[in-house]
């Protein structure tokens, strides 16, 4: 396989990583990092030092953004720890496909619905002392806040992933120049 072909395959893998940074359930920044590491093994790590450094920093920041964005959304919406824990449980169940099979959207929809339903149920249980209508209203608000926070975090991660790929392309173009 030629270096140029491998380079373009790795770029395609990185594009999937950009999509994964925004869409739950698809590897994101870690996929980009793996592609850069593969190029580093082949071309020498001096050829990817800047891109590798940026990818590692972005991966670490992305993990923090996941937690901070979800926390911020939950806090803005007045969610309790129960709502936040429910969202995490819902996400895990959505990822594992334990939600009922959905006629439209399949597992991806499960990953998106899981945190929402989990947050709603957790918040609903936490607010047991309130009247039903107020419980539903606060639970829905908390669920929505958690989902909005997560979506904002995913958009930020997508921007960081694009930046990482741009740094890789700029620092390694033309492919095979290091050999």
State how far the Cα of 84 lies from the Cα of 118, in Å rounded to an integer. Answer: 8
The domain locations on the chain are: 3-172
State how far the Cα of 84 lies from the Cα of 87, in Å rounded to an integer. Answer: 5
Per-residue pLDDT of the chain (179 residues; tens, 9 = 90+): 688 899 999 999 999 999 988 877 677 888 988 998 898 888 888 888 888 888 888 888 887 887 778 778 877 888 888 888 888 888 777 767 655 555 555 566 667 778 888 889 999 999 889 899 998 998 998 888 888 888 888 888 889 899 989 988 888 887 766 54
- What is residue 95's predicted lDDT score, i.e. its pLDDT? 67
- What is residue 3's predicted lDDT score, i.e. its pLDDT? 86
């Amino acid at each position: 396989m030629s270096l140029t072909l491998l380079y373009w395959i790795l770029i395609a893998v990185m594009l999937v990583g950009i999509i994964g940074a925004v869409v739950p359930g698809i590897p994101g920044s870690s996929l980009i990092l793996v592609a850069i590491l593969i190029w580093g093994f082949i071309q020498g790590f001096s050829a990817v030092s800047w891109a590798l450094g940026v990818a590692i920093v972005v991966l670490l920041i992305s993990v923090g953004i996941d937690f901070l964005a979800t926390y911020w959304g939950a806090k803005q919406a007045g969610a309790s720890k129960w709502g936040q824990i429910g969202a995490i449980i819902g996400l895990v169940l959505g990822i594992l496909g334990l939600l009922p099979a959905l006629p439209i959207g399949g597992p991806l929809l499960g990953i998106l619905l899981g945190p929402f339903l989990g947050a709603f149920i957790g918040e609903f249980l936490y607010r047991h002392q309130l009247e039903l209508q107020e419980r539903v209203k606060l639970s829905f608000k908390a669920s929505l806040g958690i989902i909005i926070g997560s979506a904002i975090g995913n958009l930020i991660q997508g921007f960081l992933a694009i930046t990482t790929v741009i740094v890789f392309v700029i620092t390694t173009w033309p492919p095979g120049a290091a050999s």
